[in-house]
Structure 1
Amino acid sequence: MKRLLTILLAGLAGAAPAQTYEPPQHTRPVPLVASAGEAGLMELADQGGAIEHDRPPAWQLAEHRRLSAALATLAPQRKGVVDAYVVAAALDSDPVFGREAREAARVLGRRYDAERRTIVLAGTDGTVESALPMGSPANLDMVLARVAEVMDPGEDVLVLYTTSHGARFGIVYSDADQGFGAISPRRLWSTLSQLGIRNRLILISACYAGVFVPILSSDTTAIITAASSDRTSFGCQSDNDWTFFGDALVNRALRKRQPLAAAASEAAQTIASWERDASLEPSDPQVSIGQGATRWLAALDARSPAGASAPVGRPANASLLTAGR
């Protein structure tokens, strides 16, 4: 036995080191985009379009199966109950967004009693290849269409959380070197309008996300964005666990049993303190809650768990504080 143990240990000592997973990188300019100009990018965003390239047929089939499996999990609505359908989408392949979307889905699903009514679209969390359908404009459209099929539009609520980089024309979709696109405020408004989804809580973690507020605000909509239309937001470094907005609003404020408006106010104060500590220009998060939305929010909040869950991951401002030392 002793000799066998010695042989095994010797073999382990000479074994090749375990391979470390490397997340996909953005390494080259996006075809057609660099020369498109602002007008071309706005048109692409208004169409919810995307450029996909170097996608092998086997990958496309696997992606189709991942999305189909996710859509099949959605439970139908319950008559007489205000059901929430949670969709969390990371539209960039940098791991910070994948990590944020996954945990945001867990927090929002718990808060709004959305078990079996939650879908996550996201790339890698930084440790392994993603087993989830990707966050892309096309996949998001199909998920929203499926939600519209199973929900009661007069009774139920869409809870949409998106996280990515942002631009003045909208949310940017960027999947390493294989995909690029964008979703503009007009595109998201048009999609939700065509699908008849009127009751909606929309949370957008991205720079310039305030551009979505004017067109999406309505009596039955609550919308909170990470920044105003002319400001950047912070915390989107690839190795972060959270953006400032995701950490302050989802990872902290929305884990507590408090009204959405109070959670948004708490998050804004937390973000402002982090920005002051790092001498950053205020991102100026935006909040718009329609009067009609307060009724379905009250119904959802009444079912939220009494006890707060604990925040996870490193604080979003940790890397900035370390860099300043």
Structure 2
Amino acid sequence: MRTLLPLVIALFASAAAAQRYQPVRYTLPAPVFAGDDGETQVQADMGIDVERDRPARWRLAEHRRLDRALSAVRPQRAGSVDAFVIVAALDSDPVFGREAREAARVLARRYHADGHVILLAGSDGTRDSDLPMGSPGNLDLALARVAEVMDPAEDVLILYTTSHGAPFGLYYNDGDQGYGAVSPSRLWSQLSTLGIRNRLILLSACYSGVFVPMLSSDTTAIVTAAASDRPSFGCQADNDWTFFGDALINTALRKPQPLAAAVDQAQSLIAGWEKAAALDPSRPQVAIGAGAGRWLDALERDLPPTTTPVGRPAITLLQVK
């Protein structure tokens, strides 16, 4: 019995710490995006990324976290279609941190990307994150690292982002200290400059359909949580998943089915949840280029068996009376 006592004490201490932990708060106005829509779009297109009042020790620790994440990525295997997975939670609300962590596991397993994964995310709601943040600057460096070690002629980037969104693009926010944006123009410019042509882009955010026209190409598959003029749902901080993440990542992509079939299933699930909650349809968007079939066929040739969804269903909080 005595040998169990330290373990019991440790478990209670861990549970108490998790209850005491308070994720970052949002109390101050953003120092950017204060102008009209035109000015906001210009700033987003330039890749705005603002960190304010960060202690020097935090900056050094963040530098080391990012360096570890980038250095861990192994080069591609010649003659093989390798998938390189980047998952980024661009907002520090814990729902995005939880979703990003599990999305990285699901995508890495589905596409056999062990050693080819970069995960950028804040807290999961239980403790401070030991991962680099999903800031626009960190995302740029992650893309550059993948471009450095992949063969653009045969390999594939799989990019999953989860965050709040706006008509100008994806919004980066880490409490009162981190602010920024990734617009369609900015992401297209980075991918084009880096020469990353084969890409599966999955965007979980309101208004994320704004990315489809600019990022669509013959060798691109892009799926977004909403149309360009629609919000998406499930992004409450206490959730484990957004609607899009739960439907596509936590359910459909866990099955050994082609991407197109997985997207169909996810769209059907989301539509059902929205109807049940009396929400306006988010209308997820999908565009799969004809040339993307070549690398999709290669990646989906040996899909792993089905796994069980984890976490609370995204619809749960909306069902609480």
Establish whether TM, by shorter chain, passes 0.5: yes
1:38 aligns with 2:37: yes
Residue pairs, 1:208-287, within 5 angstroms: 208-287=207-286
Contact 1:123/1:135, CA 8 A, preserved across alignment: yes
The change in CA–CA distance for 1:19 and 1:205 in structure 2 (over 3 A counts) is: closer
Structure 1 Cα separation of the partners of residues 17 and 125 of structure 2: 19
Q: Deviations over 1:92-136 (max 9, x none)?
A: 000000000110000000000000100100000000000000010
Q: Deviations over 1:3-45 (max 9, x none)?
A: xx9xxx9xx9xxx9987100001111112433x2212211121
Contact 2:18/2:126, CA 8 A, preserved across alignment: no
**1:291 aligned counterpart, secondary structure:** coil
Letter in 1 for 2:203: I
Quote the residue 1:29 is aligned against. Answer: 29
Letter in 2 for 1:152: D
Quote the residue 2:129 is aligned against. Answer: 130
1:314 aligns with 2:309: no
Structure 1 Cα separation of the partners of residues 173 and 148 of structure 2: 28
Letter in 1 for 2:94: P
**2:144 aligned counterpart, secondary structure:** helix
Letter in 2 for 1:208: Y
Letter in 1 for 2:199: R
Q: Deviations over 1:260-302 (max 9, x none)?
A: 0000000000000000000000000000000110110111011
Give the C-alpha shift of residue 303 in structure 1: 2.2
Residue pairs, 1:1-325, within 5 angstroms: 20-34=20-34, 36-305=35-304, 307-323=305-321
Structure 1 Cα separation of the partners of residues 30 and 21 of structure 2: 24
Give the C-alpha shift of residue 195 in structure 1: 0.1
Using structure 2 for the length normalisation, give the TM-score: 0.94
The change in CA–CA distance for 1:17 and 1:44 in structure 2 (over 3 A counts) is: closer
Contact 1:163/1:206, CA 8 A, preserved across alignment: yes
Structure 2 Cα separation of the partners of residues 19 and 322 of structure 1: 21
Percent identity, aligned pairs only, is 65
RMSD: 1.7
**1:154 aligned counterpart, secondary structure:** coil
Number of residue pairs matched by the alignment: 310
Structure 2 Cα separation of the partners of residues 240 and 215 of structure 1: 31
Long gaps (5+) in structure 2: none
Structure 1 Cα separation of the partners of residues 29 and 177 of structure 2: 11
Structure 2 Cα separation of the partners of residues 18 and 78 of structure 1: 41
Contact 2:32/2:179, CA 8 A, preserved across alignment: no
The change in CA–CA distance for 1:133 and 1:292 in structure 2 (over 3 A counts) is: same
Q: After TM superposition, where is structure 1 displaced by more than 3 Å over at least 4 residues in a row? A: 16-19
Letter in 2 for 1:177: D
Give the C-alpha shift of residue 304 in structure 1: 1.6
The change in CA–CA distance for 1:32 and 1:45 in structure 2 (over 3 A counts) is: closer
Contact 2:32/2:180, CA 8 A, preserved across alignment: no
Using structure 1 for the length normalisation, give the TM-score: 0.93
Q: Deviations over 1:165-203 (max 9, x none)?
A: 000000000111001111100000000000000000000
Contact 2:19/2:126, CA 8 A, preserved across alignment: no
Structure 2 Cα separation of the partners of residues 189 and 73 of structure 1: 25
Q: Deviations over 1:64-118 (max 9, x none)?
A: 0000000010011001110000000000000000000110000000000000100
**2:122 aligned counterpart, secondary structure:** coil
Letter in 2 for 1:24: V
Question: Which of 211-220 and 46-55 deviates more?
Answer: 46-55
